[in-house]
Amino acid sequence: MTDLSYLLTPRSVALIGASGTPGSPGYDAAVNLIRHSRVQGSIYLVNPRRSEIEGHPCVAQIEDLPQAEVDTAVVMVSAAATADAVERCAKRGVRFAIIPTGGLGEAGESGRVEEQKLREISREYGIRVYGPNCPGLTNVNDGIFMSVSSGASADRVGGSIGLITQGGALGRNVMQYMDRGVGIGCWLSAGNEVDLELSDFIEHLVGDPEISTIACIIEGFSDGARFLSAARRAGVAGKPIVAMVLGRTESGALAAQSHTAHMGARGKVARSLLRQHGVTVVDDIDELAETVSHFARGLATRADSPCVVSFSGGAAVAAVDALELEGIRPASLQDVTRQALREALPKFANAANPLDLTMEVMRRPEIAAAAVHALRSDSGINTLVVPIPGDYGAITEQFIEEMLRYEDEHDSDGRVVAVWSSPRRGSGCTVLERRGILPFGSTRSMARTLANAAAFRRWRDRLTEDTPGSSGGHPLQNDLSSDSLGAPVQWTEATAKRSLRVRGVSVPPGTLVERKESLAEAVSEVGFPVAMKIQSAALPHKTEVNGVILGVTELEDALTAWDTLLEGARAAGVEATAVDGILVERMATPGTDLIVSVQRDPTFGPISAIGVGGIFTEVLGDIVFFSGAPSSADLRAGLQELAAWPVLSGFRGRRPVDCDALESVLRNLITMVERPDGLQEVEINPLRVLDSDGSTVALDALITSGRQNEPASLSR
């Protein structure tokens, strides 16, 4: 971990490439520093052609900077001159270099060469590089604006949220939620991440006492395994991370022939793994801002027991519907609370949760005051969900003021959660925002956020459920790049199953028959009924070419099936010389079919996946991913996210899936890919969980290796 204190709160700052031309990035950066920042020490503007900018003196060159005094330099020179400028800063003892300059790695090969120079300079001199291709750094809480944005000086609403991005525009979008009362303590933008990256920033913010919640906008991962570790540490420390994951990464697409690669492409793998490590994943900027603002009020680490209160019966019912659809039960009112409400409400109102105060409250605001007083005394309630369907000007504002008294006068941690669904933002909305309460735009977003908060609390609870010796959800080190694996080699099912068997994974009794003349002896030994499958490395998915015949019960039918399978292979363009033979296996008894897969991901290292198997795998796409082999608690939580969970948990008398057996299979598979010389992917589809005794058996298997790891090396 790198101490970033001197980056966020530098004692002295240098701006390399300061400009006196209004409207230029170098000018905006200079103004942000000299007019708007509270730097403890000196600010040095470096410009060889000017003696001053906006009345602040300049020095001519980097070598004029005092030795070992400048903590952070903002380097704003051309892409071609950047590496030289950073090296010269390093020789003057500068600790950090912020590089807003674009046109490097994102611009092509020449830019990537320059970025490699920056990495080498960082390693040689120890200077840490922030960027390039970023808007800079904004530390609102300490008043430090090392930014090229002309609007940075308007970022004045500090708070307990730490914002981390890679790009600039979406980060600026989030920062402008300050206008609605969202307090953001700092904004760190990693840019192209030639050195410092997302994980460095998370690790720093975990130790920052002023930051309670972290918001991330993620375009890709420099080191996915490290990010997961950092995210887990943040969650353990009680600092929830809310992330919007953009779809640029191809982290799931490893082996073109695998089912799981198709289903895990782009963001699906990242979403699963982030959630496994305590990260709340959202879909858009509005949800990011609403969720992180809610979490920053401390509502992610305490259970919600909500009562819905409105002056609209329809709005109140809609809010309760949204809550219950997300699995959140409204609180039950105590008898004494009901009695107090009956005395305060109009005769035609119902003292229940949801609580409709009726439009009468617009004429008699004392109804709202009495209701809040009654609810505040109810120990079974700690949250008022207040949906506002329309703005009525001063009347709505007064209603909001009365609702906020619930927080002002609550003895413990009572909170108001507001939903302002009206397109007209009136004075009541402004009152909420001035109190640091960002109203939700819809009941659905409110309920989803409360559900995400509950999910974060369950995740923290699961941390204590990990069994001794389990991975506990810790990501495995990603020590193998996809390039080092070589071109993929597909193993036949028979070869793959031999490898699985020696590692303790059960497979059906069977044998590979290479000649038709040996078929009679083979089926006699295996025992009818049998499954017969064509075996060729050119046919990894045999069902697509009619390469599987099930339920064969007679020798005559087996002989006919032999000819049919070979003819199907020829029709698919596979000649007899490329066919290893026919795999003959005893038919398995009925059960539940799953897909279980472990693969070496170039971004996150070894990952595992489990979902609905058999022929419906790609159709349904009902699958969840884990970092390495999941802990028992994480496995159960992941399975419960599947749409098929009701079936897996014992629907209508079916045998529930044995989670311990699945965990054992995953641990056996993970050993096959976690070594540096391991395989690229091991997929069992289907893995049948037998109804008879709950045991598991691999009915089909696909193994992908690199060329340096031919099948024979693991099948002996």
pLDDT in tens, 64-97: 999 999 999 999 999 999 999 999 999 999 999 9
3 state SS of 36: coil
High-pLDDT (> 70) share of the chain, %: 91
Q: Which of 279-293, 457-471, 659-673 is least confident?
A: 457-471
Count helices and strands in the chain by DSSP H and E runs: 25, 29
Q: How far apart are CA 558 and CA 181, in angstroms?
A: 74
Q: Which tens digits make up the pLDDT trace of 405-434?
A: 999 876 567 899 999 999 999 999 999 999
505-523: average pLDDT: 96
For residues 397 and 258, the answer to whether their CB atoms sit within 8 Å is no
pLDDT band at 266 (very low <50, low <70, confident <90, very high): low
Q: Which tens digits make up the pLDDT trace of 49-65?
A: 999 999 999 999 999 99
What pLDDT score does 261 carry?
Answer: 41
Among candidates 54, 61, 91, which has minimal Cα distance to 77? Answer: 61
What pLDDT score does 495 carry?
Answer: 94
- Token look-up 């700690």 returns 382
pLDDT band at 615 (very low <50, low <70, confident <90, very high): low
pLDDT at 701 > cutoff 90 = yes
pLDDT at 483 > cutoff 80 = no
Q: How far apart are CA 74 and CA 85, in angstroms?
A: 10
Q: How far apart are CA 711 and CA 252, in angstroms?
A: 23
What pLDDT score does 477 carry?
Answer: 52
- Token look-up 């038919």 returns 587
High-pLDDT (> 90) share of the chain, %: 72
What pLDDT score does 646 carry?
Answer: 87
Neighbours of 667 (CB within 10 A): 18
φ and ψ of 385, to 5 deg: -95, 115
Higher pLDDT, 200 or 467: 200
Say what angle helices 313-325 and 443-462 make with each other, to 10 degrees: 30
DSSP at 253: -
pLDDT at 479 > cutoff 60 = no
Neighbours of 68 (CB within 10 A): 10
Mean pLDDT, the chain, rounded, equals: 89
DSSP at 513: E
3 state SS of 59: strand
What pLDDT score does 412 carry?
Answer: 63
pTM of the full predicted structure? 0.88
pLDDT at 334 > cutoff 90 = yes
Higher pLDDT, 254 or 669: 669
What pLDDT score does 716 carry?
Answer: 23
5-11: average pLDDT: 96
Encoding tokens for residue 333? 């009112």
Q: Which tens digits make up the pLDDT trace of 547-582?
A: 999 999 999 999 999 999 999 999 999 988 899 999
pLDDT at 347 > cutoff 70 = yes
pLDDT band at 659 (very low <50, low <70, confident <90, very high): confident
Contacts 24+ apart (CB under 8 A), 509-515: 509/585, 509/586, 510/583, 510/584, 510/585, 510/586, 511/583, 511/584, 512/580, 512/581, 512/582, 512/583, 512/584, 513/581, 513/582, 513/583, 513/584, 514/580, 514/581, 515/581
What pLDDT score does 651 carry?
Answer: 75
Q: How far apart are CA 511 and CA 666, in angstroms?
A: 25
461-479: average pLDDT: 56
For residues 384 and 307, the answer to whether their CB atoms sit within 8 Å is yes
What pLDDT score does 674 carry?
Answer: 79
* Distance set, CA 594 to CA 598, 610, 687, 698, 702 (Å): 13, 7, 5, 10, 14
- Token look-up 């159960």 returns 636
Encoding tokens for residue 608? 């595992």
669-686: average pLDDT: 86
Among candidates 592, 506, 578, which has minimal Cα distance to 547? Answer: 578
Q: How far apart are CA 382 and CA 621, in angstroms?
A: 39
Q: Which of 251-265, 277-291, 368-382, 555-569 is least confident?
A: 251-265
Q: Which tens digits make up the pLDDT trace of 526-538?
A: 999 999 999 998 8
pLDDT band at 464 (very low <50, low <70, confident <90, very high): confident
613-628: average pLDDT: 79
What pLDDT score does 470 carry?
Answer: 42
What pLDDT score does 469 carry?
Answer: 39
Encoding tokens for residue 105? 């790695």
What pLDDT score does 468 carry?
Answer: 39
Q: How far apart are CA 341 and CA 335, in angstroms?
A: 10
Higher pLDDT, 692 or 460: 460
DSSP at 28: H
pLDDT band at 493 (very low <50, low <70, confident <90, very high): very high
What pLDDT score does 448 carry?
Answer: 97
362-379: average pLDDT: 93
pLDDT band at 466 (very low <50, low <70, confident <90, very high): low
What pLDDT score does 146 carry?
Answer: 97
